[in-house]
A and B are shown apart, each in its own frame.
Chain A
Amino acid sequence: MKKKRTYPIQLKVNGELKRTEVYAGETLLYALREKLDHTEVKEGCGKGDCGACAVLLNGKAVNACLTLALQADGQEVVTIQGIGTPERPHPLQTSFVKHGAIQCGFCTAGMIVSAKALLDRNPHPTKQEIKEGISGNLCRCTGYKKIVEAIEDAALKMK
């Protein structure tokens, strides 16, 4: 059987240069999780409905499941781990913990990535703008109220 062709790519993930080989139709999500050990990026629906796989691609929040790994070649990817670390958490992360905005935690990584993108372009969003900003992210625990409050509070703290 003919071997499937692979292509070399190079990504900056959370500031670190990473190289790997990917197939033509392979998604950025698959490459991040299965080849680069970035399992903090979650796979939910795999087709753009849930936002669990949200990452920042050149500063813009996108679904990693709707982006080809090859389309991210040479670009900058930031995952939840690039937003903050346990030692130096981002105000959004601190706020999510403080407000109990994390229940099962599966949506949290994508939720914070979307919130980060929102605050980057609009540091003082209204409640409605926050809801719109995270409208691509589903929380099956339905903890939206606390999530919105956590983002509101983080925006205040970042003033």
Chain B
Amino acid sequence: MEYLAPNSLKDALILLKKWRSRGELIAGGTNVIPAMRAKAIKPQILIDLSHLKNLSYIREEEKNIRIGALTSVSEIASSKVIQKNAAILAEAARQIGNPLVRNRATIAGNLADASPAADSAVPLLVLEARIIVEKHKGKPKQIPINEFFMGPNKTVLKRDELIREIVFPKPVPSSRMVYSKLGLRNAMAISVVGVGVLAEMKNGKCNRARIAVGAVAPTPRRAHGVENLLEGQAVTEELIDQCCEAIQKEIQPITDVRATLEYRRSMTSVLLKRLLQQVFSQGHV
């Protein structure tokens, strides 16, 4: 195995194009190193992105928040900008892995790995993030995150492309957003179910709703059917119950070592109910 450590994005893209069939990108290493150890991947060339320090940032603009691909999960969890504008993302980041892992793991790595249970994907889906993808001698692409995941560990990324940035519009200040993860323990737990809700209220009605789920389908995904039920409505307990029923049509969970299909189905509705009650209580219902 050989090791290459580009010092600029441009060099990284050139190397990626040149070695795309035999190379493996590594940044935080929290996915790649265990995969190499388990011989699940056997790269001939490791292309280390960790020297691209200028891809680690969180920027607040007038309308958008921009997160550099190599920003660590712990930086996102503790960022004042993220806590203020996208608390749901800070909350999810705080629950990824454990403190040691969060110091290494990067946001782009969590997305590119495309685990159906990727914890950062659920909040980024409700925030309607776009993923900025670069390739050598190509125009940067903006991929809406709901079109990014193709299946377990599969994304639309081609072998010569890499993530440069994640960008999402700042939610309006009045919006409420909550996240809930069910794991088998508190730390180092792969989600059994993850649910995120973002809602904007107007005149006592739900003006806009964004709902996403993780670990209950081949990819993290939006639950559009439930969003449609909520938008334009005054949210009542009955409507919340309808949403919890409707979400069942939007998920295709499986049985694995962590939980059965039935348990995941049941808990998706339980978590959604708790979150909707939380979001639509406090004088809004």
Asked whether, in the complex, the Cβ of B1 is within 8 Å of the Cβ of A25, the reply is yes
Q: Is B225 in the interface zone, CB < 8 Å from A?
A: no
Number of interface residues of A (CB under 8 A): 32
Asked whether, in the complex, the Cβ of A135 is within 8 Å of the Cβ of B48, the reply is no
Chain B contacts for A46, CB-based, 8 A: 37
Which residues B88-126 have CB closer than 8 A to chain A? 97-101, 103-104
Across the interface, A23 reaches (CB within 8 A) one of B1, B28, B30, namely B1
CB distance from B117 to the nearest CB of A (A): 16
Given contacts A23-B1, A25-B46, A71-B29, contact A48 B103 (CB under 8 A): no
Asked whether, in the complex, the Cβ of B33 is within 8 Å of the Cβ of A135, the reply is no
**Measured between alpha carbons, how far is A133 from B78 in the docked complex, in Å?**
14
Chain B contacts for A54, CB-based, 8 A: 100
Asked whether, in the complex, the Cβ of A136 is within 8 Å of the Cβ of B104, the reply is no
Q: Is A132 in the interface zone, CB < 8 Å from B?
A: yes
Binary per-residue interface labels of chain A (35-66) against chain B in the complex, 1 for a CB within 8 Å, 0 otherwise? 00000000000111101001001001111011
Number of interface residues of B (CB under 8 A): 28
Asked whether, in the complex, the Cβ of B99 is within 8 Å of the Cβ of A63, the reply is no
Asked whether, in the complex, the Cβ of A68 is within 8 Å of the Cβ of B48, the reply is yes
Which residues B172-193 have CB closer than 8 A to chain A? 186-188
Across the interface, A71 reaches (CB within 8 A) one of B1, B38, B48, namely B48
Binary per-residue interface labels of chain A (120-142) against chain B in the complex, 1 for a CB within 8 Å, 0 otherwise? 00000000000011011100000
Q: Is B36 in the interface zone, CB < 8 Å from A?
A: yes
CB distance from A42 to the nearest CB of B (A): 13
Q: Is A27 in the interface zone, CB < 8 Å from B?
A: yes
Asked whether, in the complex, the Cβ of B188 is within 8 Å of the Cβ of A63, the reply is no
Task: Report, nearest first, the 5 A-B pairs whose CB atoms are least far apart.
Answer: A136-B98, A135-B187, A24-B3, A136-B100, A47-B34
Binding site for A on B (CB under 8 A): 1-3, 5, 26, 28-30, 33-34, 36-38, 45-46, 48, 50, 74, 97-101, 103-104, 186-188
The 30 sampled A-B contact pairs (Cβ below 8 Å) are A4-B1, A5-B2, A23-B1, A24-B1, A25-B1, A27-B33, A46-B37, A47-B37, A48-B30, A48-B34, A51-B98, A51-B100, A54-B100, A60-B103, A62-B100, A65-B33, A66-B104, A68-B29, A68-B46, A70-B3, A71-B29, A71-B48, A114-B99, A114-B100, A136-B98, A136-B99, A136-B100, A136-B101, A136-B187, A137-B100
Binding site for B on A (CB under 8 A): 4-5, 7, 23-25, 27, 46-49, 51, 54, 57, 60-63, 65-68, 70-71, 114, 117-118, 132-133, 135-137
